[in-house]
Amino acid sequence: MSQLLQQIINGVSLGSIYALIALGYTMVYGVLRFINFAHGDVFMVGAFVGYYAAPRIAPLVGGNLFLVGPIVLLLSMIVCSTLGVTLEKLAYKPLRFRPKITILITAIGISLFLEFGGQLVFGPDPKSFPTLIPSTTLIDTPNLILTSTPVIVIATAVVLMLLLRFIVMRTKIGTAMRALSFNQQAASLMGININTVISFTFIVGSSLAAAGGILYGSLYPSINPLMGVFPGLKAFISAVLGGIGNIPGAALGGLIIGLLETFVTGYLSPTFRDAISFGILILILLFRPSGLLGRYEAEKV
């Protein structure tokens, strides 16, 4: 119990990363009504972009960490957005009117392709993620050690989430996204270009995943091509927990799952960590499929 504060910090920093990834899942679901299984692997690609970019960018700005970090972050977001949109245009768009099963399997296929392709291209061994966040100790007591790293991770995640909220609530294209998630037909009748909005959704979602990758690499500096599998699943569970299609819900869900996992690992047993997360998923789907903040959608005949 003495370590409670420490565990909370651990949980919140992990949860904020899950939230970033979960937002991508929830937005794509809201607009396309499908679960993009490959999203977790976009997160992985983001981390690897950081790995390869950082040593090349650092000399250009004289090793100034306050510059390298944001530049790498931006670069990663651009690369991943491109990847996301490309995947959407090549693989998901042709299947837009096909049964859900088809596109689901396609997404799984792409996910596996990124994972094993990553192993081939990057090598399967874990790589040491470069330090992008200058690490200083802020609080040093026996019961709580706080370094700058989790603080900056959480702060960055919050800033990005606020940015997202602004985009979704205050901009034209954000409003178009929301319209599309309410009713695709009506939205297109109102003159909204569905393809543009969908592409935009993927851009935003993939950027957030990329950011998640960079932040995750900064917190846990060992990256490998399969690193997106479990965080991806956990983020998906977070999105469902919060209410899939609901943006604040995804953030809330991420936080809850992050905290829950940390507490289960620390106070119960790490072996049950994954089982409990899946258990939550199943309970939610059975008893409250709309999630904590979501609306219930009746299936109309």
Partner 1 sequence: MMNASGKKWAFIAAIVLSFVLAQFQGEINPYFLQIIIYVGINTILASSLNLINGFTGQFSLGHAGFMSLGAYTASMITITFQATPGATSSYVMFPVALLVGGIVAAVAGVLVGIPSLRLKGDYLAITTLGLGEIIRVIIQNLDFVGGARGLVGIPKLSDFFWVFSVVAIVIFMISNMIHSTYGKGFLAVRDDEVAAQAMGINTTKYKVIAFVIGAFFAGVAGGLYAHFVSYITPSQFGFIKSIEIVVMVIVGGMGNTVGVILAAIVLTILPEALRGVAEYRMVLYSLMLVVIMISRPQGLFGTGFKRFFKKQAA
Partner 2 sequence: MKLHVPLSLKILVVGLVTLLGVLALSSIGCNSGGGSSDEILIGEYSSLTGTTATFGTSTHNGLLLAVEEVNNGGGINGKKIKLLTEDDQSKPEEAATAVTKLINRDRVKAVIGEVSSSRSLAAGPICQSNGVPMISPSSTNPKVTQIGDYIFRVCFLDPFQGEVIAKFAYNTLKVKKVAILKDVKNEYSIGLAEFFSTNFKAMGGEVIGEQAYSEGDNDFKAQLTALKGMNPEAVIVPGYYTEAALVVKQARELKLDVPFIGGDGWDSAKLLEIGGAAMENTYYANHYTTSDPNPVVQNFVSKYRAAHNQTPDALAALAYDAGRIMFDAIKRAGSTDGPKVRDAISQTTDFSGVTGTISIDKERNAHKSAVIIAIQNGQLALKERIAPSSPAQ
Q: What angle do CA 81, 189, 176 make, to 5 degrees?
A: 35
Candidates 14, 23, 35, 176; binder of partner 1 (CB under 8 A) is 35
Candidates 184, 199, 265, 290; binder of partner 2 (CB under 8 A) is 265
Contacted by 166, from partner 1, partner 2, none: CB < 5 to 8 Å by type: none
Candidates 34, 194, 233, 266; binder of partner 2 (CB under 8 A) is 266
**Got the DSSP string for 20-71?**
HHHHHHHHHHHHHSS--TTHHHHHHHHHHHHHHHHHHHGGGGTT-HHHHHHH
User: Binding to partner 1 (CB under 8 A): which residues in 161-220?
Assistant: 184-185
Q: Which two tokens stand for residue 43?
A: 């997160």
Are 15 and 256 spatial neighbours (Cβ–Cβ below 8 Å)? yes
Q: How far is the CB of 258 from partner 1 (least distance, A)?
A: 18
Per the DSSP assignment, residues forming a β-bridge with 137 are: 147
Q: Choose the stretch contacting partner 1; rule: CB under 8 A; options: 4-12, 58-66, 68-76, 267-275.
A: 267-275
Contacted by 199, from partner 1, partner 2, none: CB < 5 to 8 Å by type: none
Q: Choose the stretch contacting partner 2; rule: CB under 8 A; options: 35-43, 154-162, 255-263, 287-295.
A: 255-263
Q: How far is the CB of 115 from partner 2 (least distance, A)?
A: 12
**Residue 245: left (phi > 0), alpha (psi -120 to 50), or beta?**
left
Separation between Cα atoms, residue 36 and residue 133, nearest integer Å: 30
Are 196 and 93 spatial neighbours (Cβ–Cβ below 8 Å)? no
Residue 104 interacts with partner 1 (CB under 8 A): yes or no: yes
Residue 220 interacts with partner 2 (CB under 8 A): yes or no: yes
Nearest to 118 by CA among 201, 23, 225, 193: 225
Are 232 and 50 spatial neighbours (Cβ–Cβ below 8 Å)? no
**Alpha-carbon radius of gyration of the chain:** 19
Number of residues interacting with partner 1: please give it, by CB under 8 A: 43
Q: Choose the stretch contacting partner 2; rule: CB under 8 A; options: 50-58, 185-193, 266-274, 285-293.
A: 266-274
**Got the DSSP string for 171-212?**
SHHHHHHHHHHH-HHHHHHTT--HHHHHHHHHHHHHHHHHHH
Residue 136 interacts with partner 2 (CB under 8 A): yes or no: no
Candidates 4, 139, 190, 282; binder of partner 1 (CB under 8 A) is 282
Amino acid at 21: I
Separation between Cα atoms, residue 237 and residue 289, nearest integer Å: 11
Of the pair 180, 273, the CB lying nearest partner 2 is at 273
Candidates 4, 61, 120, 159; binder of partner 1 (CB under 8 A) is 120
Q: How far is the CB of 201 from partner 1 (least distance, A)?
A: 17
Q: How far is the CB of 187 from partner 2 (least distance, A)?
A: 40
* Residues at the site binding partner 1, with contacts judged by CB under 8 A: 34-35, 91, 94-95, 97-106, 108-113, 115-117, 119-120, 184-185, 236, 240, 271-272, 274-275, 278-279, 281-282, 285-286, 289, 299, 301
